[in-house]
Structure 1
Amino acid sequence: MKELGKINSLLINRFTANGAYLALHDGEEVLLPKSYLKEEFKEGQEVEVFVYTDSEDRPVAVTNRPVALLDEFAVMEAKEITRFGAFMDWGLPKDLFVPKSEMHVDMVEGAKYLVRVCLDYKTDRLIGVSKYEDFLELETRGFEEGQEVEALIFAETDLGFKVLIENAFEGLLYKNEVFIPLELGDKIRAFVKKRREDGKLDLRIEPIGREKYEEGAEKILTVLKVKKFLPLHDKSSPESIKELLGMSKKHFKQSIGQLYKAKLIKILDNGIELI
């Protein structure tokens, strides 16, 4: 069934006491349960649904969207661990099953893991696979220093945060360069710092070079337009600056210097003020 694991636009064929039957491309039908029906639904109407299998392995359509579709990654919480595998919360009534043989590490209930939604061709069911490295692309020479990328935070190490880039590449954000709170599952924009010899990418949250200071200045200006005054100055502690603005002290000083030269702020003994 080519609709399995995807978002599909399907026509309503007919209604029954159990819900609406939608037309599949192979001529078969799939049930959209009654709990997902809306009053305005009519026969012949096209509806957008996600197709997967229910607890009895029957194809079923839902109007909910899971956190990941077929061949996509997401960070999911392990809801239940059994000797056969783990059941993951992916935003649908039926949890996604990760077989023991497809675990990157032994899972712990309540912990979060990077999982890819895959099709088990033996059973024609959707399963989760946490052996993420099997799916990564190793050729990263196409990335350039300073390039903006979409990054998914999926693990924390002593060095920093492991991230999945563009659903296909692995990268790292170093803790000593992160000045905003991050949690597993966060999707952020980041910038390529360098490409390592092993092909993995080092990232940073702030843009590289002069653009970084322009963005920092814009952030301070946005806050000042609301607050008019910030109790931060050259002698403020790095912790105070990080708490109020989410940036390093060096970044802050360079940014307010730019705003001062542009005659947009006053630098006072006890803080900065919008002109």
Structure 2
Amino acid sequence: MAELTAGTIANLEVSHKAPFGYFLTDGTHEVLLHENDVTGKLNDKDKITVFLYQDHQGRIAATMTIPTVRFNSFDWATATSLHKKYGVFLNIGVSKDLLLSKDDLPYEWIYWPQPGDRVYCSLKLDKKQRLFARLADETVISTLSLPAPEELRNKDVHATIYRLLDDGAHVLTEEGYLGFIHNAETSGTIRIGQSIECRVIAVKENGKLNLSMKPRSYEVIGGNSEKIVAYMNSRDGAMPYWDKSLPEEIKERFGISKGDFKKALGQLMKEGKLYQEDGWSYLKQEETPKSPDQG
């Protein structure tokens, strides 16, 4: 009889009850089914289907929970913890987390999945027959994908990063569309498994998307306008900055370029909320409506 191997599904017989679970047998070998891995009442000689994995001592153990992540069976797994020495541990639905080795991740750990991130993976064994996660490659991911429609241009999509490149990242949207985000269109440090909101800037002929994490220009202006108004409100509606202020002053105070500052001021003036005078900017005070008996 062949050895019982981690990562496989086996049909075993209940040998006997133990204080902490049951021992199962294939007629030659015995493995422990811990009580935490039991999903119903069992009796001696019952035949059950179990998933085999390695416990914390490296011994083969069994669970009645059959994960969808298996050899040659890919599915999403959620990162539970990150350990710089080993890699990232993933929850695949069984009592012991699965390790995604640092050897299969970028050199710098800041690009590794963080707890709560999701990766698409299956199982593999190393030379010592230890069970590890295997990240899906482009060929596997492409089997999940659909060609994107042209009308998706400029729409917002939700996506998961599954591969990092020198010039950007590959993603899969919730709808199953493949996309690429160039480094120039990213926001902050991105990582494998990260869930992101982005917008479609192009739909290519092959149905793949070019995406951006950066806001639209009017959203940038709106955000900067809110920042300026909040600052002015904290100063009774006035500030010693206007569209001729020095770029360094604008950068130091608001953290934005002079060009973006002028666009935001222009928007506020167009909306009738702000005016400039002698190097200062002022918020216009709303007039109090007159009551009917006032002349």
Q: TM-score, normalised by structure 2?
A: 0.49
Instruction: Return closer, same or farther for 1:20/1:193 CA change in 2, 3 Å cut-off.
Output: same
Partner of 2:119: 115
Instruction: Return closer, same or farther for 1:146/1:187 CA change in 2, 3 Å cut-off.
Output: same
Instruction: Return closer, same or farther for 1:240/1:153 CA change in 2, 3 Å cut-off.
Output: farther
Asked if the contact 2:91/2:98 (under 8 Å) is kept, the reply is no
CA RMSD of aligned residues (A): 5.1
Partner of 1:64: none
The amino acid across from 1:182 in the alignment is T
Q: Secondary structure at the match of 2:75?
A: coil
Partner of 1:257: 266
| Superposition deviation, residue 147 in structure 1 | 0.9
The 5-angstrom pairing of residues 1-275 of structure 1 reads: 24=39, 27=40, 55=55, 56-59=60-63, 71-72=75-76, 79=84, 88-90=88-90, 94-98=96-100, 108=107, 110=109, 112=112, 115-118=119-122, 128-133=133-138, 134-136=140-142, 137-141=145-149, 144-166=152-174, 168-178=176-186, 180-184=187-191, 185-206=193-214, 212-213=217-218, 215-227=219-231, 228=233, 234=243, 236=247, 240=251, 244=255, 253-266=262-275, 274-275=283-284
Partner of 1:45: none
Asked if the contact 2:224/2:260 (under 8 Å) is kept, the reply is no
User: Aligned equivalents of 2:53 and 2:172: distance in 1?
Assistant: 28
Q: TM-score, normalised by structure 1?
A: 0.52
Larger radius of gyration: 2
% identity of equivalent residues: 22
Asked if the contact 2:119/2:162 (under 8 Å) is kept, the reply is no
User: Aligned equivalents of 1:160 and 1:142: distance in 2?
Assistant: 22
| Superposition deviation, residue 194 in structure 1 | 0.3
The amino acid across from 1:258 in the alignment is Q
Instruction: Return closer, same or farther for 1:21/1:176 CA change in 2, 3 Å cut-off.
Output: closer
| Superposition deviation, residue 106 in structure 1 | 7.1
User: Aligned equivalents of 1:199 and 1:59: distance in 2?
Assistant: 42
Asked if the contact 1:117/1:129 (under 8 Å) is kept, the reply is yes
Instruction: Return closer, same or farther for 1:176/1:21 CA change in 2, 3 Å cut-off.
Output: closer
Partner of 1:10: none
Partner of 2:4: none
User: Aligned equivalents of 2:64 and 2:112: distance in 1?
Assistant: 27
Q: Secondary structure at the match of 1:151?
A: strand
In the TM superposition, what whole-angstrom CA distance separates every residue of 1:57-77 from its partner, at most 9, and x where no partner exists?
44399xxxxxxxx82266785
User: Aligned equivalents of 1:174 and 1:232: distance in 2?
Assistant: 35
User: Aligned equivalents of 2:162 and 2:276: distance in 1?
Assistant: 40
Instruction: Return closer, same or farther for 1:256/1:54 CA change in 2, 3 Å cut-off.
Output: farther
Asked if the contact 2:251/2:258 (under 8 Å) is kept, the reply is no
The amino acid across from 2:201 in the alignment is K
| Superposition deviation, residue 186 in structure 1 | 4.3
